[in-house]
Amino acid sequence: MQKLIELFLQILKDEQGEVNWLTGEGILWGGDDEEEDDPYAALRSQYQNYLSGKLGTSTPYTYNSAFDIQQPTVESAAEKTILGYLENPTTNVSDYSEATKKYSEAAKASRAETYADEMKKTQNMYNRLGLVSSTPGLTAEADLNRKQATEANLFDTELAYQNLDRQLTAQGLDVSQLSSMLGQATNLGKTQRASQQYSQQASESDIARMVGEEQTYASLLSSLLGQNPEDTTYTPNTLEQLLSTGADILPYLLMMMA
């Protein structure tokens, strides 16, 4: 032990051979005892900032147009046709009425000539008999007028019935066509709605994918930092090193410094 003390005193001497206690104090107590050497310090800071930014937040839903399904050309054309008909449904009723009216007028003109010819023949027949102004002749003319009037009424009635039948048929066709268009519109709407639902669900799934990836990376980083805690290097000063060689050196050193 005496030799250890002498060696320590030799270390403290300056160039003139005098013991420099200031130098000894620096050697004994040393400077910083701890040095931090953490290669993950910056990463720990980023991780803490990330967690702080996530507190009290949630991931909002965002629609991603990348998942939109492009409408086929045929479907687009069908959609325009269906919408055009539903906005302006066609009807042929007025056209049938106009055609019936023209036919009725032409038929009346033709019957008028026929009726006039029949009346003239009847009058000539009774004129040859000398009965044109007699009761038989007048009665024959009256009967012919009633017959012609009845035929005209029957013709007009039949024509009106045919016109009504055409109108009902036209209306039925319109209703049938409208029903068909509504059915096609319903099917088209279901197809388009399914496409929209797919885009929305795909957007939601993509959000879940991104959140899952983010959580996976955060978990991996947490595991990495947990397996590599902050590294603090401890360097004992000279006095502590000397004390480690023997605890009984302290009283001698204190006596020398007194």
Q: Which residue has the higher pLDDT, 166 or 22?
A: 166
- Looking at residue 119, its pLDDT comes to 82
Residue 234 β-bridge partners: 34
Instruction: Give a yes or no: residue 173 inside a domain.
Output: yes
Instruction: Give a yes or no: residue 191 inside a domain.
Output: yes
Instruction: Give a yes or no: residue 28 inside a domain.
Output: no
Measured distance CA(187)–CA(184) in Å, rounded? 5
- Looking at residue 68, its pLDDT comes to 92
Measured distance CA(206)–CA(68) in Å, rounded? 13
pLDDT at 173 over 60: yes
- Looking at residue 121, its pLDDT comes to 83
- Tally the domains of the chain: 1
pLDDT in tens, 226-246: 988 876 555 555 555 555 554
pLDDT in tens, 141-161: 788 788 878 887 877 778 777
Across the chain, what does the average pLDDT equal? 76
pLDDT in tens, 209-232: 999 999 999 999 999 999 888 765
Instruction: Give a yes or no: residue 33 inside a domain.
Output: no
Query: Could you tell me which of 231, 230, 237 has the C-alpha nearest to residue 32?
Result: 237
pLDDT at 196 over 80: yes
CA atoms within 13 A of residue 104's CA, in its CB half-sphere: 18
Instruction: Give a yes or no: residue 24 inside a domain.
Output: no
> Could you tell me the residue range of the domain that residue 66 belongs to?
50-257
Instruction: Give a yes or no: residue 169 inside a domain.
Output: yes
The most confident of the ranges 67-81, 178-192, 200-214 is 200-214
pLDDT in tens, 78-132: 898 888 888 877 655 555 667 777 777 787 787 887 888 888 887 888 777 776 6
Instruction: Give a yes or no: residue 149 inside a domain.
Output: yes
Instruction: Give a yes or no: residue 193 inside a domain.
Output: yes
